[in-house]
Amino acid sequence: MSDHAPSATSLSRWLYTTNHKDIGSMYLWFSLSMFILGGAFAMVIRAELFQPGMQLIDPNFYNQMTTLHGLVMIFGAIMPAFVGLANWLIPIMIGAPDMALPRMNNWSFWILPPAFLMLASTLFMEGGAPAFGWTAYAPLSTTYAPPSVTFFIFAVHILGVSSIMGSINIIATIMNMRAPGMTYMKMPMFVWTWLITAFLLVAVMPVLAGAVTMMLMDIHFNTSFFSAAGGGDPVLYQHIFWFFGHPEVYIIILPAFGVISEIIPTFSRKTLFGYSSMVYATASIAFMSFIVWAHHMYTVGMPVAGELFFMYATMLIAVPTGVKVFNWVSTMWRGALTFETPMLFAIGFLILFTIGGFSGLMLSIAPADFQYHDTYFVVAHFHYVMVAGAVFSITAAVYYWLPKMCGRMYNETMGKVNFWISFVGFNITFFPQHFVGLAGMPRRVPDYALQFADFNMMSSIGAFIYGMSQLLFMYNVIATVIAGKPVEENKTWEGASGLEWTIPTPAPYHTFEVPPDLTKEKIHATA
Amino acid sequence: MKILKNFSLILLTMFSTNLWAQNQVNMSGGFTDVGAEIYDLHMLILWICVAIGAIVFGIMFYSMMFHTKSRGHKPADFHESTSVEIIWTVIPFLILIGMAVPATSTLLEIYDNDNAEIDILVTGYQWKWKYEYLEGDSQNIEFYSNLSTPQSEIYNTTEKNENYLLEVDEPVVIPVNTKVRFLITANDVIHSWWVPEIGVKKDAIPGFINETWSKVNEEGIYRGQCTELCGAYHGFMPIEVHVVSQEEYALWKQAKQSQGD
């Protein structure tokens, strides 16, 4: 640790810290632990599905596993990982000394662990953990829910508060604390994507809070928002939930786009192609995410006009997303490519995310979706964009910025092995799920017909392989932080550009106490 | 050890054509006109995606092969081109319009619930289906349809039969080549009534009555499942539709009605 840093072993340092790097690191470690927990739930699911018939767990516990797997992965692993990266990187990318609201920053992290402790504790309650899926469709999640649903609602409230505070902090930092000369159109793509993501979060987290509060009222205060018997409407819940839920998936993927837009240029030794079109594409994806929510609900019996509107709007999202993919490929085109671990994960992202985009386009076609909806085809689709999209990009980001963060180099061979096992394991797991989905296997079932047996066994084996490779990742990261080869150069990667590579390695506890003057610098694509 | 054995088995089967022959890997073409249209639409979009993927990945792999530092390739300097950006915004847009046209016409057909000859009210319960043939004045036929797979098969004490989890005690029977309208609702939580081969899926929602229809071209037994998470036994409430000739249907109805008296 460099100067001014309090002792790493003192508890009060971590409890009271307002330092963006400390808080960023805590978010990342927290995310890693949740990733392992959510992964363990996934292993239980895949072990039960290894063969037809009920072997290990009962159907109710199976539903608890799928519910908690979804919640923990989305709210515990992926979102905190990106917030951690934002905390670490945004100030050192825009030349700011810290986040704009450091005390609130501490608070937004420290309410997370209790929220997840509470969520995990539902597993030991009478009636078991929530078993209604992460989407919590009423009335299964209200009238027919286990008593632990109240704790689920409270946990979601806390997560929402944490996300909203985190996003306000990010918006305030980016808007007010850029170094002189760091104009909006010179900001790194990662900063841009996070700015847009933060606005999405501020807009939709209150909507989720509203939805779960209405659940709470239905359960405890005899209202009938979602109960048809009392004049309510179960479909209303789905509209509200997906009005949050669809922007939420872009909240998860936009920072991933940002990470990839940093890594691909570095290892292509070329400037990002079409910087401004990337910014506009991100903004238009964010805007459109608000007007497509009901494509999750094609089968609820919407009028045909509504069905058509949501179908056309959803299909349109393919345009800006396509622009992003084309821009990344053009960035690689005629570059001088090298394939270090972060680049491998970025290329893995590019290929698999595009496949997930294709299945997304197929799902957007309403009449075809009548066959895809709620089958394993959907499960395959969203794991292509969530795992190969978000998780691969987080892994790439960790390998890419880890030397800067801790001043030590990870083991490159182990990193590459990590990539190849992840890539192969991932595809063995999820590619066959397209087939069983099309052949007629519904999602969220603990047992299945014999015709799906072979592909499910394959899927389970792939999942165990993928799970193992994550332990390798964890080992590689911890070994690097403790005993990796020290690195000295400010710039770890030959082709890297950006302010974070101008500060010493490891990044000192305080950086940019005096803002750098960038008014004459040529930075990023618009220079 | 069993896992190890299974693993080698999987590796073996993965590379043999057997696996692909035995296992359905695609949507079923369907035994209704609408189902066939949905299948064609699905294949059209799949092939468009494959073509776009081949081009994009082809360019990318070419770049990964030849534009590498190890081959001594010097990085080029370009990073912007408005005309290229316009081209790859406009072309995908046109492709999307090409997809939207057939999608719209198929959707309109699915929503055309008029002129059905038979109306069946389908109600979802935790965890079974109830069918009610709405006949106007005369006595309605109504019955529940439960999973008939024995617990011993589910808990692995006896061998599983070929229709494991897809069989019921009393199937819903409809005549061939007849437009049948299904009115779908639920009594407790949300369920979803799905029979892939006759091209029908619609959510069963308490307080709502959804409509959908099917006109099956071929006699046979078609199987489906509930597709909306509805509680612990969501995976154990299958659907079995028997499509029979007009004569057989009339006989079945008669027998059913006399049973009810």
pLDDT given at position A127:
93
Secondary structure percentages of chain B, helix, strand, coil, to 5: 40, 25, 35
Residues A170-222: pLDDT tens digits? 999 999 999 999 999 999 999 999 999 999 999 999 999 999 999 999 999 99
Domain assignment of residue B19, yes or no: no
The shortest C-alpha distance from B248 to chain A (Å) reads 28
Please tell me which residue in A16, A29, A134, A509 is annotated as part of the active site.
Answer: A134
pLDDT at residue A526 greater than cutoff 50:
no
Written as one string, the DSSP assignment of B147-185 is B-S-HHHHTTSSPPPTTTTS-BSS-EEEETT--EEEEEE
Average pLDDT, chain A: 95
Residues B142-178: pLDDT tens digits? 999 999 999 999 999 999 999 999 999 999 999 999 9
Domain assignment of residue B92, yes or no: yes
Per-residue pLDDT band for A5 (boundaries 50, 70, 90) equals confident
B85 touches chain A (CB under 8 A): yes
pLDDT at residue A8 greater than cutoff 60:
yes
- CA-nearest residue of chain B to A370? B201
Domain assignment of residue B11, yes or no: no
Domain assignment of residue B1, yes or no: no
Shared domain check, B99 and B144:
no
pLDDT at residue A404 greater than cutoff 50:
yes
Written as one string, the DSSP assignment of A262-311 is HHHHHHHTSPPTTHHHHHHHHHHHHHHTTS-GGGG-GGG---HHHHHHHH
Q: Is A250 a catalytic residue?
A: yes
Percent of chain B exceeding pLDDT 90 equals: 77
| B44 sits in which H/E element | helix B33-66
Domain assignment of residue B238, yes or no: yes
Task: Name which of B49, B158, B200, B212 to mutate to probe chain A: the one with the most chain A Cβ atoms within 10 A of its Cβ.
Answer: B49
Q: How many domains does chain B have?
A: 2
pLDDT at residue A331 greater than cutoff 70:
yes
CB contact under 8 A, B235 and A446: yes
Please tell me which residue in A295, A383, A404, A408 is annotated as part of the active site.
Answer: A295
Domain assignment of residue B25, yes or no: no
- Amino acid at the residue A216: L
The shortest C-alpha distance from A490 to chain B (Å) reads 22
The residue among B110, B127, B151 that closes a domain is B110
- CA-nearest residue of chain A to B204? A300
Residues A304 and A166: their CA atoms lie apart, in Å, by 40
Q: Is A372 a catalytic residue?
A: no
| Residue B86 CB neighbour total at 10 angstroms | 11
Residues A338-386: pLDDT tens digits? 999 999 999 999 999 999 999 999 999 999 999 999 999 999 999 999 9
The residue among B110, B141, B172 that closes a domain is B110
Eight-class DSSP state of B202: E
pLDDT at residue A122 greater than cutoff 60:
yes
Q: What is the ipTM of this complex?
A: 0.92
pLDDT at residue B14 greater than cutoff 60:
no
Residues B32-90: pLDDT tens digits? 999 999 999 999 999 999 999 999 999 999 999 999 999 998 999 888 899 999 999 99
Shared domain check, B173 and B48:
no
- CA-nearest residue of chain B to A459? B10
pLDDT at residue A527 greater than cutoff 90:
no
- Candidate from B13, B42, B163 with C-beta closest to A454: B13
B103 touches chain A (CB under 8 A): yes
The pLDDT of A430-443, averaged and rounded, is 96
Shared domain check, B239 and B138:
yes
Domain assignment of residue B71, yes or no: yes
Lowest mean pLDDT among A186-190, A408-412, B3-7, B210-214: B3-7
Residues A73 and A82: their CA atoms lie apart, in Å, by 12
Give φ, ψ of A213 to 5 degrees: -65, -40
CATH of the domain at B161: 2.60.40.420
Residues B71 and A336: their CA atoms lie apart, in Å, by 8
pLDDT given at position A6:
77
pLDDT given at position A2:
47
Shared domain check, B185 and B162:
yes
pLDDT given at position A518:
87
Within 8 A of B113 by CB-CB distance, chain A residues are none
Shared domain check, B171 and B89:
no
CATH of the domain at B103: 1.10.287
CB contact under 8 A, B207 and A355: no
Shared domain check, B160 and B100:
no
pLDDT at residue A325 greater than cutoff 90:
yes
pLDDT given at position B137:
62
Domain assignment of residue B205, yes or no: yes
What domains appear along chain A, each with residue ranges and CATH number? 21-223+234-501 (1.20.210.10)
Shared domain check, B252 and B136:
yes
Per-residue pLDDT band for B29 (boundaries 50, 70, 90) equals confident
Domain region containing B99: 33-110
pLDDT given at position B10:
58
- Token representation of residue B191: 């369920």
Per-residue pLDDT band for A3 (boundaries 50, 70, 90) equals low
CB contact under 8 A, B232 and A60: yes
Q: Is A321 a catalytic residue?
A: yes
Shared domain check, B168 and B149:
yes
Shared domain check, B204 and B125:
yes
Between strands B239-244 and B220-226, the pairing is: antiparallel
pLDDT at residue B2 greater than cutoff 70:
no
Helices first, then strands: H and E counts in chain B: 6, 10
The residue among B110, B130, B163 that closes a domain is B110
Shared domain check, B126 and B61:
no
Shared domain check, B202 and B160:
yes
Q: Is A466 a catalytic residue?
A: no
Shared domain check, B252 and B123:
yes
Taking phi over 0 as left and psi of -120 to 50 as alpha, with beta for the rest, B170 belongs to beta
Residue A261, CA distances (Å) to A117, A403, A521, B78, B170 in order: 35, 19, 21, 16, 57
